Amino acid sequence: MEALRVSGDELARRLAQVRPDQWTQASAVGDWSVFDLVNHVIGGGRRYVMLFDGADLASIQATRAQDHVGADPVSSHSQLAEELAARFAEPGALARTLQHPAGERTGLQLLRMRIAEQALHAIDLARSLDLDDMLDAQLVGFMLVDVAPDFEFGRSKGFFGAVREVAEEATPQERLLALSGR
């Protein structure tokens, strides 16, 4: 749960630095704009809450066309982060099996996915806007041990690129990014 909070804080720190004129510029992710990138990650939080609340996949998929950024992106993100943290903290939540669009996932697997989404997209946002992209070192260490093993599942669903080779002296964050195909 601490890693979820820290990864959310990493994203919020970059969100607070987005200027109004930057929302339409290209992001570091494919053909997405900065708005598209942020909308994806905030909307992902909404979709996870909906999964925990028992929404059907059609309702969840319908949210992809909605604006989740709103007038205050930091508040939008923070509100969803609180809602989602509450769902993950419910008794038995991590052991529950939920029907994610990518297939059945346990609450624990979704927690790890969310940590990865927030952290990696914080880096994507930072790189899109030429901001500091260094993540909290403890978060990176946690992700290398507890989250990165799930990247192969994400790669099989098209969420991550191929693993990249890195030099032996690569930093932990460089190794994490290489494992995620970044």
Q: Which domain holds residue 86?
A: 2-132
Residue 135 has pLDDT above 90, yes or no: yes
Question: Looking at residue 126, which CATH number applies to its domain?
Answer: 1.20.120.450
Count how many domains the chain has.
Answer: 1
Predicted TM-score of the model (pTM): 0.94
Task: Confirm whether 127 is domain-assigned.
Answer: yes
Question: In a 3-state reduction of DSSP, which class is residue 61?
Answer: helix
Question: In a 3-state reduction of DSSP, which class is residue 20?
Answer: helix
Task: Confirm whether 49 is domain-assigned.
Answer: yes
Task: Confirm whether 53 is domain-assigned.
Answer: yes
Average pLDDT of the chain?
A: 95
Task: Confirm whether 124 is domain-assigned.
Answer: yes
Task: Confirm whether 153 is domain-assigned.
Answer: no
Closest CA to 67 of 27, 28, 40: 40
- Give residue 32's pLDDT: 96
What's the average model confidence in pLDDT over 125-150? Answer: 96
Task: Confirm whether 176 is domain-assigned.
Answer: no
